[in-house]
Amino acid sequence: MLLACQQISKTYFAEPVLKDVSFHLEANEKTALTGINGSGKSTLLKILAGRESYDSGSLILPKDCRIGYLPQIPEIEGNETIYEVLAGAKKHIFEMEASLRSMEEEMHHLTGSSLDTLMQSYTNLTHRYEQADGYAARSAIEGVFRGLGFADQDRNRPVSSLSGGQKTRVALGRILLEETDLLLLDEPTNHLDMNSIEWLESYLSSYRNAVLIVSHDRYFLDRVVTKVVELEHGTALSFSGNYTQYSEKKAEVRKAVLRAWEKQQDEIRHQEAVIKKLKQFNREKSIKRAESREKALSRIDRIEKPADEHSEMHLQLQPRTESGKDVLQIEDLSKAFGNNLLFRDQNISISRGERVAIIGRNGTGKTTLLKMICGLEPPSSGSCTLGTNVQVGYFDQEHQLLHPEKTIFDEIADQYPTLTATEIRNVLAAFLFTGDDVFGLVGNLSGGEQGRVALAKLMLSGANFLLLDEPTNHLDAISREILEDALRHYTGTILCVSHDRYFVNRIATRILDLENRNFVNYIGNYDYYLEKHDELRAQMAASAAGETSSAISESKLARAEQKQRQTEERRRKNQLASVESRIAALEARNEEIDAQFALPETGTDLPLCQKLSAEQAEISEELAALYEQWESLAE
């Protein structure tokens, strides 16, 4: 065991944040620390990192345990370059390297016992250098540098010139390279694009030591962790497995606790009724018995009621009218900002009922595409054409369509003037804004609260084509799952941009990967995309043997995917035709049997009647299965 927390408690301004938190970590365990916003996750990480004290309890760690800690906002300043900061993690190795070179130079000038002594020191230091994996140090630095999305031109950039997100990436890289016994990571995937997140997943999965991670990226947690510690009401509960397994077990635990709470409440009410009745008898013995029961009742360990479902956001998305079959047609679309070409001559069509997710690196033009569809950004060339009866609802990740000077109430009332005050309050209550909360200014809200206001407006819009730009940003895990469920039941059409792969995996029926200025199409969710993406790349690598790397174009990937789609479509149509043919044959035979039953001579032939009835029963059973198969293929 590497770490043990035993009944850790922490209070801020008389408000308990952590209450008797207990859990343990093994030496090579990858663990997620989860809980709603404000549950104390970051506080607990600071305590484990020694950055903050705790009021009571005990924290058990080995004496020589090395801890690496990445806060949400790292403190990293100075004039060192990005590469110098990363290389600083291997400073001890480079110092050993310099000493070895110095010893090698000195050996040329020594003889006898002095040389023997130096040779022994050299051998010892070489052994320490090899144990520290010194020969791989530069390679490790380069791997982390590129893995976190930095390019060659960033190598000599001073960290003082970086944005907050870039500084976080540098700090993360430095901590990973330090190879500590315990890594404490607070939202490490913030400011990383999908490629960098996938690289980090691979890095942490093969990391030899323990990791404790706070993250809202559920797909990331699914692929990295084998244990989840949840903070709820200040206490900790441990679950084995990844995030999905934890979520399923958590639901089971909540039901069990709710049943136990209801049972205890029934018992409490029963005892209170008995106590009341005993006191009404107003006799010495009955009063003593009542007092005895009261003492017993006061000593019971009361179960805390699980969080009420009313404390969760309620979101129902449904279109007011149905759009035409063709929802969006993009033809020969190009977009550039000055010399920065995002994409050129792209053609995309989206049909009613599709749920399409756009993925790709930061800065490739995903958000710009949504703005062009909305008419908020002009294309450089080409067109975006909406279909018949298409009504667009747009969720902007920066919430620029909200008015910071308005109250939450007015934000809704001004856009939907036909709603009564009661109706507006009911809508806002569904998004956790109650009482005087509704009169708070939009500009004073947190990112998550502004996201809930934007979702409320989206729900009221009744749009049949939703354009969603990073809709899960700033939402806690519960709110994300509620949004996912609402979108999965939505009968309109969805086009969304998201880095939340768990979200994409749950809602997408199709993925557009914006890579090298081209949209590559994948028919399926994120898991399907990963599988086919690797397959297509392997195919392209094999077919490109002997060619220069510049000859491999992303358009080939698109054509390979299109060819695969066409093959699958032909197979589907062939199966559909086969099923329809069989249905027609069975229905024709059914009619023949009905006609045969109508003949007078059939009615007197009992064996024939039985035979025909048995055949009709078989036909009916086969037709039921064929109708179901036909619906699936037709859909």
Cβ-based neighbour number of residue 464 at 10 Å: 23
614 versus 573: the higher-pLDDT residue is 614
List the one residue out of 468, 396, 472 whose CA is nearest residue 218. Answer: 472
Q: 116 is written with which tokens? A: 């023997």
Reduced to 3 states (helix: H, G, I; strand: E, B; else coil), residue 216 is coil
Q: Are 104 and 217 in contact (CB under 8 A)?
A: no
Residue type, 603: G
Q: Considering the chain, what is the average pLDDT of its residues?
A: 87
Q: How far apart are CA 474 and CA 329, in angstroms?
A: 32
For 596-634, give the DSSP string: HHTSHHHHT-HHHHHHHHHHHHHHHHHHHHHHHHHHHHH
Share of the chain above pLDDT 70, in %: 94
pLDDT over 90 (residue 216):
no
Please give the span between the terminal C-alpha atoms of the chain, in angstroms, as a whole number. Answer: 53
pLDDT over 50 (residue 292):
yes
If you average pLDDT over residues 412-416, what whole number do you get? 92
If you average pLDDT over residues 20-37, what whole number do you get? 91
- To 10 degrees, what angle do helices 606-634 and 554-597 make? 160
pLDDT over 70 (residue 560):
no
**How sure is the predictor about 544, in pLDDT bands with cuts at 50, 70 and 90?**
low
Q: How many helices (H) and strands (E) does the chain have?
A: 20, 18
Cβ-based neighbour number of residue 255 at 10 Å: 11
Q: How far apart are CA 510 and CA 526, in angstroms?
A: 9
Q: Where are the beta strands (DSSP E) in 366-406?
A: 381-386, 392-395
Instruction: Give the chain's length.
Output: 635
Q: pLDDT tens for residues 55-103?
A: 999 999 988 899 999 998 787 777 899 999 999 999 999 999 999 999 9
Task: Say how many CA atoms lie within 13 Å of 282 toward its Cβ.
Answer: 1
450 versus 446: the higher-pLDDT residue is 450
Q: 628 is written with which tokens? A: 């179901």
Q: How far apart are CA 196 and CA 165, in angstroms?
A: 13
If you average pLDDT over residues 165-170, what whole number do you get? 86
Residues forming a β-bridge with 384: 330
**Residue 407: what pLDDT?**
94
Q: How far apart are CA 303 and CA 348, in angstroms?
A: 55
**Residue 592: what pLDDT?**
85
Q: Are 317 and 337 in contact (CB under 8 A)?
A: no
Report the range out of 309-313, 328-332, 539-543 with the highest average pLDDT.
328-332
Q: Where are the beta strands (DSSP E) in 478-529?
A: 493-497, 510-515, 518-522
**Residue 562: what pLDDT?**
65
Residues forming a β-bridge with 351: 326
pLDDT over 50 (residue 549):
no
Reduced to 3 states (helix: H, G, I; strand: E, B; else coil), residue 101 is helix
Q: 75 is written with which tokens? A: 């403190």
**Residue 575: what pLDDT?**
79
Q: Are 249 and 298 in contact (CB under 8 A)?
A: no
pLDDT over 50 (residue 550):
no
Q: How far apart are CA 271 and CA 391, in angstroms?
A: 59
pLDDT over 90 (residue 545):
no
Q: How far apart are CA 604 and CA 21, in angstroms?
A: 83
**Residue 554: what pLDDT?**
54
Residues forming a β-bridge with 212: 31, 184
Q: How far apart are CA 449 and CA 432, in angstroms?
A: 9
Q: pLDDT tens for residues 355-388?
A: 999 998 878 899 999 999 999 999 999 999 999 9
**Residue 476: what pLDDT?**
75
CATH architecture of 326-560: 3-Layer(aba) Sandwich (3.40)
Q: How far apart are CA 248 and CA 590, in angstroms?
A: 48
pLDDT over 90 (residue 23):
yes
Q: 508 is written with which tokens? A: 């997408």
The one-character DSSP state at 81 is B
Q: Which residues contact 465 (CB under 8 A, 6 or more apart)?
A: 323, 327, 328, 386, 390, 391, 392, 393, 492, 493, 494, 495
Q: How far apart are CA 382 and CA 330, in angstroms?
A: 8
